[in-house]
Amino acid sequence: MRYVFIGGIPTAGKSYLAKKVADALGIAYFQTDHWRDDLQSDPETRRWVDFFWNQDEEKYWRETDCDQQWENLKNQSEAFWPAFSKKIKNIQADNQPAVFEGVNILPHLARRDLDFPGIFLLGESYEKILERNKKEPRWGKSEFLQEQEAKAFWSCERMQYQKEAEKYGFKTFNDSFSAKNELLRILKS
């Protein structure tokens, strides 16, 4: 295998894991989150680039249930996916081995459009998710809001990723160590 992807919840350690695997094998890794800025100028995707940041966060967490939260993430991911999958295909066309990682790599999109395997990282515990969220806040402007976001990642998005990953035949992992071993096994086979 020359390519692998890592999807999963924010703060689960996807970037850390992608870098570890890429370094171990001497290959490139790409964070799809870094490709979002390129989408700011496209009217089709601009709305979704800053979708969460354009919300009143406190109101969002108070009024948005788990199903709607997942629907928002799906809509964002599907809006980004044509550009992301094109970038992935361009990297593959260069025949450059790589690890791709990002929140917006959802199981149904990966199954439909990627011709290589991957895994989904779901996080070890709520406490670790919260710790990472506080260290590098994604959205939360206060500790209370960072806690709300961490709860949503852990108790909502995590379950949705797991359910969809299982539906489409992808393995899920709670910890980076087990996930790293699986990714190395895939890439070395």
Structure tokens at 125: 């515990």
pLDDT tens-digit map of 171-189 = 999 999 999 999 999 998 8
In 3D, which of 117, 79, 121 has the Cα closest to residue 102? Answer: 121
Phi first, then psi: give them for residue 79, nearest 5 degrees: -65, -40
3-188 topology per CATH: Rossmann fold (3.40.50)
Question: 């009143």: which residue's tokens?
Answer: 56
User: What is the distance between the alpha carbons of residues 105 and 6, in angstroms, rounded to a whole number?
Assistant: 8
- Between 52 and 164, the higher pLDDT residue: 164
Radius of gyration of the chain (CA): 16
pTM to 2 decimals?
Answer: 0.94
Q: Element (H or E) spanning 20, and its range?
A: helix 14-25
- Lowest-confidence region among 45-54, 97-106, 150-159, 165-174: 45-54
User: How far is Cα 158 from Cα 70, in angstroms, rounded to an integer?
Assistant: 10
**Could you state, in order of their start, the residue ranges of all structural domains in the chain?**
3-188
- The string of pLDDT tens digits covering residues 130-156 is 999 898 887 777 999 999 999 999 999
